[in-house]
Protein backbone atom coordinates (compact mmCIF):
# COMPACT_ATOMS: atom_id res chain seq x y z
CA UNK A 1 0.00 0.00 0.00
CA UNK A 2 1.41 3.35 -1.10
CA UNK A 3 0.82 6.74 0.48
CA UNK A 4 0.64 9.91 -1.56
CA UNK A 5 0.38 13.33 0.04
CA UNK A 6 -0.73 16.32 -1.96
CA UNK A 7 0.21 19.63 -0.42
CA UNK A 8 0.58 23.29 -1.33
CA UNK A 9 2.58 26.15 0.08
CA UNK A 10 -0.61 28.05 0.81
CA UNK A 11 -4.38 27.75 0.49
CA UNK A 12 -6.26 28.63 -2.70
CA UNK A 13 -4.04 26.81 -5.20
CA UNK A 14 -6.80 24.41 -6.27
CA UNK A 15 -5.32 21.54 -4.28
CA UNK A 16 -8.63 20.23 -2.93
CA UNK A 17 -10.28 20.21 -6.38
CA UNK A 18 -7.33 18.30 -7.80
CA UNK A 19 -7.39 15.76 -4.95
CA UNK A 20 -11.13 15.23 -5.34
CA UNK A 21 -10.60 14.69 -9.07
CA UNK A 22 -7.79 12.20 -8.41
CA UNK A 23 -10.04 10.35 -5.96
CA UNK A 24 -12.62 10.02 -8.72
CA UNK A 25 -10.20 8.34 -11.14
CA UNK A 26 -8.38 6.17 -8.56
CA UNK A 27 -10.27 2.94 -8.20
CA UNK A 28 -8.42 1.44 -5.29
CA UNK A 29 -7.67 4.21 -2.80
CA UNK A 30 -8.59 5.35 0.67
CA UNK A 31 -8.90 9.11 1.00
CA UNK A 32 -7.47 10.86 4.08
CA UNK A 33 -8.33 14.52 4.48
CA UNK A 34 -5.51 15.73 6.72
CA UNK A 35 -6.18 19.42 6.18
CA UNK A 36 -7.78 19.26 9.61
CA UNK A 37 -7.73 23.01 10.27
CA UNK A 38 -9.88 23.63 7.20
CA UNK A 39 -11.25 20.28 6.08
CA UNK A 40 -13.33 20.84 2.95
CA UNK A 41 -12.87 17.74 0.81
CA UNK A 42 -16.04 16.31 2.35
CA UNK A 43 -18.03 19.18 0.77
CA UNK A 44 -17.30 17.74 -2.67
CA UNK A 45 -17.16 14.05 -1.81
CA UNK A 46 -20.17 14.18 0.55
CA UNK A 47 -19.24 10.99 2.38
CA UNK A 48 -21.64 9.07 4.57
CA UNK A 49 -20.31 9.01 8.13
CA UNK A 50 -19.97 5.49 9.52
CA UNK A 51 -18.18 6.27 12.80
CA UNK A 52 -17.69 9.55 14.64
CA UNK A 53 -14.88 9.65 17.19
CA UNK A 54 -13.79 12.18 19.78
CA UNK A 55 -10.24 13.46 19.59
CA UNK A 56 -8.75 14.52 22.91
CA UNK A 57 -6.80 17.65 22.06
CA UNK A 58 -4.77 20.05 24.17
CA UNK A 59 -5.42 21.21 27.70
CA UNK A 60 -6.67 24.62 28.76
CA UNK A 61 -6.21 26.31 32.13
CA UNK A 62 -9.30 27.26 34.14
CA UNK A 63 -9.58 29.22 37.39
CA UNK A 64 -11.56 28.19 40.44
CA UNK A 65 -12.79 31.59 41.61
CA UNK A 66 -13.70 30.27 45.02
CA UNK A 67 -9.93 29.97 45.64
CA UNK A 68 -8.46 32.78 43.50
CA UNK A 69 -7.30 35.88 45.42
CA UNK A 70 -6.63 37.94 42.28
CA UNK A 71 -2.92 38.19 43.16
CA UNK A 72 -1.96 38.40 39.46
CA UNK A 73 1.09 36.09 39.66
CA UNK A 74 -0.27 33.86 36.88
CA UNK A 75 -0.99 36.86 34.69
CA UNK A 76 2.55 38.20 35.06
CA UNK A 77 4.13 34.87 34.13
CA UNK A 78 1.97 33.65 31.26
CA UNK A 79 4.11 33.95 28.13
CA UNK A 80 1.15 33.59 25.82
CA UNK A 81 -0.74 36.65 27.11
CA UNK A 82 -3.65 34.34 27.79
CA UNK A 83 -4.35 35.77 31.25
CA UNK A 84 -5.82 39.23 31.60
CA UNK A 85 -7.79 41.28 34.05
CA UNK A 86 -11.32 41.80 32.82
CA UNK A 87 -13.32 44.05 35.11
CA UNK A 88 -11.88 43.19 38.50
CA UNK A 89 -11.28 39.56 37.74
CA UNK A 90 -8.27 37.57 36.46
CA UNK A 91 -9.47 35.71 33.36
CA UNK A 92 -7.93 33.06 31.13
CA UNK A 93 -8.66 33.13 27.40
CA UNK A 94 -9.24 29.59 26.14
CA UNK A 95 -8.32 30.79 22.65
CA UNK A 96 -4.87 32.05 23.72
CA UNK A 97 -4.01 29.44 26.33
CA UNK A 98 -1.25 27.14 25.10
CA UNK A 99 -1.77 24.60 27.86
CA UNK A 100 1.79 24.95 29.19
CA UNK A 101 0.55 24.57 32.81
CA UNK A 102 2.93 27.21 34.18
CA UNK A 103 0.09 29.15 35.81
CA UNK A 104 -1.14 25.99 37.50
CA UNK A 105 2.29 25.37 38.97
CA UNK A 106 2.84 28.92 40.24
CA UNK A 107 -0.61 29.68 41.65
CA UNK A 108 -0.15 29.98 45.46
CA UNK A 109 -3.82 29.15 46.06
CA UNK A 110 -3.93 26.03 43.89
CA UNK A 111 -6.80 27.73 42.07
CA UNK A 112 -5.90 26.68 38.54
CA UNK A 113 -6.58 23.32 36.97
CA UNK A 114 -6.24 22.01 33.43
CA UNK A 115 -9.17 20.66 31.46
CA UNK A 116 -8.84 18.41 28.46
CA UNK A 117 -10.58 19.62 25.34
CA UNK A 118 -12.66 17.09 23.43
CA UNK A 119 -14.34 19.31 20.86
CA UNK A 120 -12.41 17.88 17.89
CA UNK A 121 -13.82 14.93 15.96
CA UNK A 122 -12.56 12.47 13.40
CA UNK A 123 -14.73 10.42 11.11
CA UNK A 124 -14.62 7.14 9.23
CA UNK A 125 -16.87 7.45 6.23
CA UNK A 126 -17.80 6.05 2.87
CA UNK A 127 -17.65 8.27 -0.18
CA UNK A 128 -18.72 7.47 -3.72
CA UNK A 129 -15.02 6.99 -4.48
CA UNK A 130 -14.26 4.70 -1.56
CA UNK A 131 -13.48 4.92 2.14
CA UNK A 132 -12.60 8.32 3.52
CA UNK A 133 -11.20 9.42 6.87
CA UNK A 134 -11.37 13.06 7.84
CA UNK A 135 -11.43 15.28 10.91
CA UNK A 136 -12.71 18.54 12.24
CA UNK A 137 -10.51 20.43 14.67
CA UNK A 138 -12.49 22.16 17.42
CA UNK A 139 -12.48 25.97 17.62
CA UNK A 140 -9.20 27.29 19.07
CA UNK A 141 -7.87 23.74 19.27
CA UNK A 142 -4.25 23.06 18.51
CA UNK A 143 -2.27 19.81 18.28
CA UNK A 144 -3.50 19.45 14.72
CA UNK A 145 -0.31 17.53 13.90
CA UNK A 146 -1.42 14.75 16.25
CA UNK A 147 -4.88 14.74 14.72
CA UNK A 148 -3.31 14.42 11.25
CA UNK A 149 -1.45 11.37 12.52
CA UNK A 150 -4.70 9.86 13.83
CA UNK A 151 -6.40 10.38 10.45
CA UNK A 152 -3.45 8.86 8.58
CA UNK A 153 -3.24 5.84 10.87
CA UNK A 154 -6.95 5.10 10.50
CA UNK A 155 -6.76 5.49 6.72
CA UNK A 156 -3.83 3.06 6.60
CA UNK A 157 -5.71 0.51 8.72
CA UNK A 158 -8.71 0.71 6.38
CA UNK A 159 -6.49 0.42 3.30
CA UNK A 160 -4.91 -2.73 4.71
CA UNK A 161 -8.22 -4.24 5.80
CA UNK A 162 -9.88 -3.54 2.44
CA UNK A 163 -6.86 -4.33 0.26
CA UNK A 164 -6.66 -0.82 -1.13
CA UNK A 165 -3.40 -0.03 -2.93
CA UNK A 166 -3.26 3.70 -2.17
CA UNK A 167 -3.92 6.23 0.55
CA UNK A 168 -4.42 9.67 -0.99
CA UNK A 169 -3.68 12.29 1.64
CA UNK A 170 -4.96 15.85 1.40
CA UNK A 171 -2.24 17.69 3.32
CA UNK A 172 -2.58 21.05 5.03
CA UNK A 173 -1.04 24.19 3.52
CA UNK A 174 2.18 25.74 4.83
CA UNK A 175 5.23 24.13 6.42
CA UNK A 176 4.15 23.67 10.04
CA UNK A 177 3.70 20.67 12.29
CA UNK A 178 0.52 19.35 10.59
CA UNK A 179 2.28 19.40 7.20
CA UNK A 180 5.20 17.47 8.64
CA UNK A 181 2.74 14.96 10.08
CA UNK A 182 1.12 14.60 6.66
CA UNK A 183 4.34 13.88 4.73
CA UNK A 184 6.30 11.75 7.18
CA UNK A 185 6.86 8.33 5.67
CA UNK A 186 4.88 8.85 2.46
CA UNK A 187 5.97 7.48 -0.91
CA UNK A 188 5.32 10.61 -2.93
CA UNK A 189 4.72 14.27 -2.05
CA UNK A 190 3.00 16.24 -4.77
CA UNK A 191 3.09 20.00 -4.43
CA UNK A 192 0.37 22.05 -6.11
CA UNK A 193 1.53 25.54 -6.96
CA UNK A 194 0.49 28.45 -9.15
CA UNK A 195 2.51 30.95 -11.20
CA UNK A 196 2.79 33.91 -8.85
CA UNK A 197 5.67 35.37 -6.85
CA UNK A 198 4.06 34.19 -3.61
CA UNK A 199 3.41 30.80 -5.21
CA UNK A 200 7.11 30.43 -6.00
CA UNK A 201 8.11 31.65 -2.55
CA UNK A 202 5.82 29.11 -0.86
CA UNK A 203 6.89 26.38 -3.27
CA UNK A 204 10.55 26.84 -2.31
CA UNK A 205 9.73 26.53 1.37
CA UNK A 206 7.68 23.37 0.86
CA UNK A 207 10.30 21.79 -1.41
CA UNK A 208 12.93 22.43 1.26
CA UNK A 209 10.70 20.78 3.86
CA UNK A 210 9.97 17.75 1.66
CA UNK A 211 13.67 17.36 0.83
CA UNK A 212 14.46 17.27 4.55
CA UNK A 213 12.38 14.10 4.75
CA UNK A 214 14.18 12.56 1.77
CA UNK A 215 10.95 12.45 -0.21
CA UNK A 216 11.10 13.30 -3.89
CA UNK A 217 8.76 16.23 -4.58
CA UNK A 218 6.67 16.31 -7.75
CA UNK A 219 4.97 19.47 -8.93
CA UNK A 220 1.56 20.28 -10.37
CA UNK A 221 1.53 23.75 -11.85
CA UNK A 222 -2.06 24.94 -11.69
CA UNK A 223 -3.43 27.87 -13.74
CA UNK A 224 -0.08 27.94 -15.54
CA UNK A 225 -1.50 29.97 -18.43
CA UNK A 226 -2.51 32.94 -16.26
CA UNK A 227 1.08 34.15 -15.93
CA UNK A 228 3.39 32.66 -18.54
CA UNK A 229 6.36 34.69 -17.26
CA UNK A 230 6.09 33.27 -13.74
CA UNK A 231 5.42 29.82 -15.16
CA UNK A 232 8.81 30.04 -16.88
CA UNK A 233 10.46 31.19 -13.66
CA UNK A 234 8.99 28.20 -11.81
CA UNK A 235 9.99 25.84 -14.62
CA UNK A 236 13.57 27.14 -14.43
CA UNK A 237 13.60 26.75 -10.65
CA UNK A 238 12.35 23.16 -10.97
CA UNK A 239 14.88 22.31 -13.68
CA UNK A 240 17.75 23.77 -11.68
CA UNK A 241 16.74 21.76 -8.63
CA UNK A 242 15.98 18.57 -10.53
CA UNK A 243 12.29 18.63 -9.62
CA UNK A 244 9.81 17.14 -12.04
CA UNK A 245 6.66 19.01 -13.02
CA UNK A 246 4.14 16.24 -13.66
CA UNK A 247 1.29 18.42 -14.90
CA UNK A 248 0.50 21.86 -16.25
CA UNK A 249 -3.16 22.62 -15.61
CA UNK A 250 -4.70 25.58 -17.46
CA UNK A 251 -7.15 27.95 -15.86
CA UNK A 252 -10.65 26.66 -16.51
CA UNK A 253 -14.08 27.69 -15.27
CA UNK A 254 -14.91 24.02 -14.84
CA UNK A 255 -13.12 24.16 -11.48
CA UNK A 256 -15.68 26.63 -10.16
CA UNK A 257 -18.69 25.13 -11.95
CA UNK A 258 -17.86 21.65 -10.67
CA UNK A 259 -17.45 22.96 -7.12
CA UNK A 260 -20.81 24.78 -7.30
CA UNK A 261 -22.40 21.51 -8.43
CA UNK A 262 -20.62 19.58 -5.68
CA UNK A 263 -18.91 17.40 -8.25
CA UNK A 264 -15.30 16.73 -9.08
CA UNK A 265 -13.99 18.25 -12.31
CA UNK A 266 -13.89 14.72 -13.76
CA UNK A 267 -17.53 14.06 -12.91
CA UNK A 268 -18.57 17.47 -14.16
CA UNK A 269 -17.10 16.88 -17.62
CA UNK A 270 -15.67 13.45 -18.36
CA UNK A 271 -14.46 14.54 -21.79
CA UNK A 272 -12.72 17.80 -20.94
CA UNK A 273 -9.02 18.50 -21.30
CA UNK A 274 -8.87 18.64 -17.48
CA UNK A 275 -10.11 15.07 -17.14
CA UNK A 276 -7.31 13.91 -19.45
CA UNK A 277 -4.76 15.80 -17.36
CA UNK A 278 -6.09 14.32 -14.10
CA UNK A 279 -5.99 10.81 -15.59
CA UNK A 280 -2.42 11.40 -16.74
CA UNK A 281 -1.43 12.60 -13.24
CA UNK A 282 -2.92 9.45 -11.75
CA UNK A 283 -1.09 7.29 -14.31
CA UNK A 284 2.19 8.98 -13.34
CA UNK A 285 1.49 8.47 -9.63
CA UNK A 286 0.95 4.77 -10.26
CA UNK A 287 4.13 4.60 -12.30
CA UNK A 288 6.19 6.32 -9.59
CA UNK A 289 4.90 4.05 -6.84
CA UNK A 290 5.54 0.71 -8.55
S1 LIG B 1 -2.05 32.99 40.64
FE2 LIG B 1 -3.85 31.89 41.37
S3 LIG B 1 -4.63 33.17 42.99
FE4 LIG B 1 -3.24 34.43 41.80
S5 LIG B 1 -4.55 35.43 40.28
FE6 LIG B 1 -3.77 33.58 39.35
S7 LIG B 1 -5.37 32.08 39.78
FE8 LIG B 1 -5.72 33.75 41.15
S1 LIG C 1 -1.48 27.16 30.81
FE2 LIG C 1 0.24 28.40 30.13
S3 LIG C 1 -0.62 29.47 28.37
FE4 LIG C 1 -2.35 28.71 29.49
S5 LIG C 1 -2.90 30.39 30.82
FE6 LIG C 1 -1.53 29.05 31.98
S7 LIG C 1 0.49 29.95 31.69
FE8 LIG C 1 -0.84 30.82 30.13
Q: What is the CATH number of the domain that holds 64?
A: 3.30.70.20
Residue among 263, 245, 246 at smallest CA distance from 254 = 263
72: left (phi over 0), alpha (psi -120 to 50) or beta: left
Question: Do 186 and 106 share a structural domain?
Answer: no
Question: Do 198 and 180 share a structural domain?
Answer: yes
Residue 12 reports pLDDT greater than 80: no
The atom of ligand 2 lying closest to the CA of 102 is 7
Q: Given 72, 92, 116, which residue is the final one in a domain?
A: 116
Question: Do 214 and 271 share a structural domain?
Answer: yes
**Residue nearest atom 3 in ligand 1 by C-alpha distance:** 68
Domain count, the chain: 2
**Residue nearest atom 6 in ligand 1 by C-alpha distance:** 74
Q: How far apart are CA 268 and CA 21, in angstroms?
A: 10
Question: Do 152 and 102 share a structural domain?
Answer: no
The atom of ligand 1 lying closest to the CA of 103 is 1
Question: Do 175 and 45 share a structural domain?
Answer: yes
Segment 149-191, tens digit of pLDDT: 999 999 999 999 999 999 999 998 888 888 999 999 999 999 9
Residue 9 reports pLDDT greater than 80: no
Q: State which of 67, 84, 86, 109 you would mutate to test the pocket of ligand 1, scoring each by most atoms of that ligand within 8 A of its C-beta.
A: 109
- Segment 35-60 mean pLDDT: 88
CA of 137 to the centre of ligand 1 (A): 30
- Segment 255-282 mean pLDDT: 92
Residue list, ligand 2 pocket, CB within 6 Å: 61, 78, 80, 82-83, 92, 97-103
CATH number at residue 241: 3.40.50.300
Question: Do 87 and 51 share a structural domain?
Answer: no
- Segment 254-275 mean pLDDT: 91
The atom of ligand 1 lying closest to the CA of 83 is 6
Cα 241 to the chain's mean position, in Å?
25
Three-state secondary structure call for residue 152: helix
Question: Do 217 and 133 share a structural domain?
Answer: yes
Q: Domain range spanning residue 208?
A: 2-56+121-288
Cα 39 to the chain's mean position, in Å?
7
- Integer angstrom CA distances of residue 162 from 31, 51, 132, 240: 13, 17, 12, 41
Question: Do 63 and 52 share a structural domain?
Answer: no
Supply the pLDDT for residue 250: 94
Amino acid sequence: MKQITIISGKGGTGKTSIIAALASVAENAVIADCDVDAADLFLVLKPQILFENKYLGGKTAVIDYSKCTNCGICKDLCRFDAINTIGDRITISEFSCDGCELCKRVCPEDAISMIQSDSSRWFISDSRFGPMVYARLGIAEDNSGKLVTVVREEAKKIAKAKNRDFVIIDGPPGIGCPVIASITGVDIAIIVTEPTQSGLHDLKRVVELVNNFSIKPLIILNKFDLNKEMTEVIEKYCKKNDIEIIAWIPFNRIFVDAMVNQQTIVEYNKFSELTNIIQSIWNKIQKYTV
